[in-house]
Structure 1
Amino acid sequence: MSSSFTQLCLQYRSLLFSKTVSSTWRYSTQFRHCATLTRLPTKILNGSSVIRGNRTTTQARQRWKQPMFCYRDLTARHLATEAKEHKDTEELSKSDVVVYKTPVLPIRDAEMPVTESQMSLDLDAAAERSPLELISDEEALSISIPSTIPPASSSLRDYVDQSETLSKLVQLGVKLWRLEQRPNVGSMLLRLNFNTDVAPKLLFLKEIGVEDSSFGHIITRNPFILTQNLENLQSRVNYLKSKKFSSGDVASMVSRAPYLLNFSVKRLDNRLGFYQQQLKLSASNTQNIVARLPRLLCGSLEPVKENLKVFEIELGFKENEIQHIVVAVPKVLTANKRKLTQMFDFLHNTMKVPHHLITKFPQVLNSKCLRVRERHLFLDYLGKAQYDPALPNYISLDRFVSLPDETFCTELALATLEDFYLFQKTL
């Protein structure tokens, strides 16, 4: 068996040594005399491959069983010339050690049947390809390149280490856990290049006066600002400045209403015109309420229209009273309708506060119902619930809702904080 395999390799030395490979395969096979082969330098003499140098022979103590394969053409020649080869290879000593620089393929025992699939192997597949070898387009498309970025994930956390954009956004304070909950935002961020898509927007925000500490909040609330065109962003800022908004107002508005710069100049102009016409305010008053509550330019107009009707029809305020309330507390335009009606009902029907006093101190409409209720009931228990400025022991609604508990007790209720806490337990 060993002699047959040796002669086969000698006959096809030109084919085997023509393939350049980057590494030598180790192999071991079972000879009838259990000889172990080791690696030594190779020298070709007289058309045959003979090993020169140290020769090591070890007697195997255990018999190994390994499957051996051969290719179709090699097997045919091997079976045809086995008798002749045996005589030619007897000259090799049993202690000779053979090493091949080409990949040594396991062969199949001639006595074992060879299947059709095993005989269809190609010898060229055994040799490693050169990295400079040209390949076809089909082969190039079939090559799969392993990627360290996971193909799919439910969290942006898995991409932070591989994505420069995500890692820089985290350093800016962007809350990725919030953005990944929004559809398509995560994939959008992964497609952005930090130097070409993100950095120019950050520089723009800095130029218009936005603080560096606000970048994370703005992008967390409005990641789509990173996809806006710089020319469009600049045109919207220029429009706001043309409407007498100062640079400080614009920076503050963008920080508190991050979606502001996503809207076109036409939409911003329509929103300003709506508030000026609906409330019948001057341009300066309109600018004032928008600067203090910039989300009026971003949100839906339906809640605003509904609250204006509530003030006029359900609560019974006059037009000039509504104007005064809105200019003083713009937040009432977007307040919850149910909370607004509950607060007015308690002030007007329980505390007996007339419309003109509520108009004079509209901050009370923006207070917590529980806070107003507890304080009024405590003053009523002490006999000091008097809110009419024309009567003695008058308590201003402004101080009534704005003072902390301790000051409220000592200055308005003339009681201790402990008494107020004990009274709250009785409610």
Structure 2
Amino acid sequence: MKQYFKDNKNTLFVAVVIIILLAIVLRMNEIVSFVLTMLEVFNPFFIAIGIAFILNIPMKAIENGLSKISRNNKIVKKFLRPLSIILTLLFAVVILWLLMIIILPRVAESVVYVFNNFSTIVNNSINSVDDILNDLHLGYKLQDIPYIKEIQNISKDQELFKHVITFFGSITQGVVKNAVEFTNTFFSYFLAFCLSIYLLAGKETLIYQTKKVTVALFPKNISTFVFETGSKANVIFKNFVGGQLVDCIIKGVMFYIVFQFLDYRFTELMATIIAVCSIVPVFGPIFAMLICFVLIFSYNPINALWFIIIFQVLSNFEGQVIYPKIVGKTIGLPGIWVLLSIFILGGKFGIAGMLLAVPITALAYELFVEYINSRLKKKKINYELIEEKGED
């Protein structure tokens, strides 16, 4: 019997794989439902990992700074991690407090102004476009379009205000009706936050245990590959997430100073829009530029055109000079892969997909390049033949 299994192990392996695949196909709905349920159950854990990953960036900097200052102080070394976590949380609270006290009131003021003067802004924008079309002698007016007339009518008779009030009223009713769900969501996030603190406090132990389990369950070559991939993923995600957040803050401050110098309206609102939207690569800045353009165009079309030029100049300066210094060269993706990754992952997973598209694709790209290079090395391919350019 043992000899039979030994002689036919490949056939038996293929048969087992086919049976498993058949079971998966036949029970696909149940499997998908089970996976979605498990993802929902572990959702607080995934959120906790995300929070811990972000907080780990300032925590490491604080920890390194404290260890240099304390030197041989045994008491400080003993409480280095708890002290670093407390200081990191205080840093996060201060940032949120500054947002709540300084930035949000000014942004809210601008939003209220735009909302109260929506009719004037719409009419000014349409009239400005019509003036430009008239100067070009095109014989065409924006006001002739039925859809534009409808927007004007809505803004005049304050129907928009009624629609917004109705919309927020429905949201309020929904929150009241789903109070239990809201409480569960709040509890999940609170649990995730507490879990993230635990992950930060014992991250070395967790990493050690994960490595121990990996080495015990898998062969050496697979374990080595997992560790190397994990190390690369950590560097790429850390540089991208941390760098992207710092870059967005710098970008917002930079545009705020320029807007103040040029005496633009809605300065705080536009700087905040640019900073927040810039978190999403490629499409975020474009979306921010369009919103700010409409806001400026509503009261001064010439300034709006100047804004486009200023935005492009500052964005290029930020992209060529500031961004590489902050993020580094680990996100070395060609432009086409950046666009494709954002399109595919953004279309599938929404905003979260767009945020994580670049680092995930960068990791996959780096692993693929390493694999291809190793294959070429094994085949002893002459690189000069590959690099040789063909004729047009």
TM interval, short-chain normalised: under 0.3
Return the structure number with greater relative CO, CA threshold 8 A, min gap 6.
Answer: 2
* TM-score normalised to structure 1 length: 0.19
Of the two, which has the highest radius of gyration?
1
